[in-house]
Structure 1
Amino acid sequence: MLSNTGINKIILLGQIYQEPQMSADVNRNKFLYFTLVTNEVIKKGQDSVEHNEYHNIKIPEKLITQDALCLEFGQTLYIEGKIQTTSFMDDLHVKRYNLEIVVNKVEVVKPVPSIV
């Protein structure tokens, strides 16, 4: 039987769209930040249209060093994690929100070698 708690889990398979950058949050915890793009083909009437989604990815430093990952633009990644929303005040004192994927598992998907 399900308990009264919720589930916050996400699985993504996509390509690194922006060069990963190491940064720290307000608590000085280090994270690797980048954008991952996922795409799908959606049928609209008789046509098929490609749709891209861009996800803000946040990987804890310990996960990067533990798995000795070297992530680069264009790599395909399999990611498991959770959604986290943060807020901040912009220059005009308007409260803004940022949606991030906090990763707890990441694997680099190797491309299939072509046979010539």
Structure 2
Amino acid sequence: MSGINKVILVGHLGKNPDIRYLEGGVSVVSFPLATSETFSKDGRKVEQTEWHNIVMWRGLADVAAKFLQKGKLVYIEGKLRTRSFEDKDGNKKYTTEVVAENFTMLGRKTDFEENTPPDTGEGFNPGEAV
């Protein structure tokens, strides 16, 4: 039996998506996502926030760069990926990222109206799964 690598997150963007273009015009976007949980400790409510590095590729990256903004609430499905790289001093470093396979913008419709282009009858609809 093979393993399962599935991540589901609902959180707020920590900053605007950063889009880059690789060889052949392949687009990739990345941004931090904050998820929070509240629990009780010694009779007090405590909030704990986790930060996740999100990466999106190609068409999904283009849509994310166009519609997502810092602070917006988003539902993300994807998988974990750990990769290595060398820092500027030549030291090998590792990072774990969530490679998103789709996302849905959450919140009120008015949260997205300022970024929504005029309705042309086609294209991306905020709140719709990508």
Give the TM-score range, shorter chain. 0.7 to 0.9
Secondary structure of the residue aligned to 1:80 is strand
Aligned to 1:32: 29
What is the DSSP-based 3-state SS (H/G/I as helix, E as strand, rest coil) of the residue aligned with 1:74?
Answer: coil
4+ runs deviating over 3 angstroms: 24-29, 64-69
**Residue equivalent to 2:106:** 109
Tell me which residue corresponds to 2:18: 21
Output the CA distance in 1 between the equivalents of 2:61 and 2:55.
Answer: 11
| Whole-Å separation in 2 of the counterparts to 1:100 and 1:76 | 19
Q: Which residue of 1 aligns with 2:77?
A: 80
State how far apart, in whole Å, the 2-side matches of 1:51 and 1:68 are. 28
Superposition TM-score, scaled by structure 1 size: 0.81
CA distance, structure 1, for counterparts of residue 75 and residue 6 of structure 2: 14
* Unpaired runs of at least 5, structure 2: 111-130
Distance 1:92-1:54 versus aligned 2 partners, 3 A rule: same
Change over 3 Å in CA distance of 1:62–1:90 after alignment to 2? same
Q: CA deviation at 1:69?
A: 5.3
Report the Cα offset of residue 27 of structure 1: 8.6
How many residue pairs align between the two structures?
110
Aligned AA (2:103)? V
| Structure with greater strand percent | 1
What is the distance in 2 between the residues matched to 1:67 and 1:96?
27
Counterparts in 2 of 1:107 and 1:69: CA distance versus 1, 3 Å: farther
**TM-score, normalization by structure 2:** 0.73
RMSD: 2.6
Question: What amino acid is the match of 1:104?
Answer: E
Greater percentage in helix: 2
Q: Percent identity of the aligned residues? A: 33
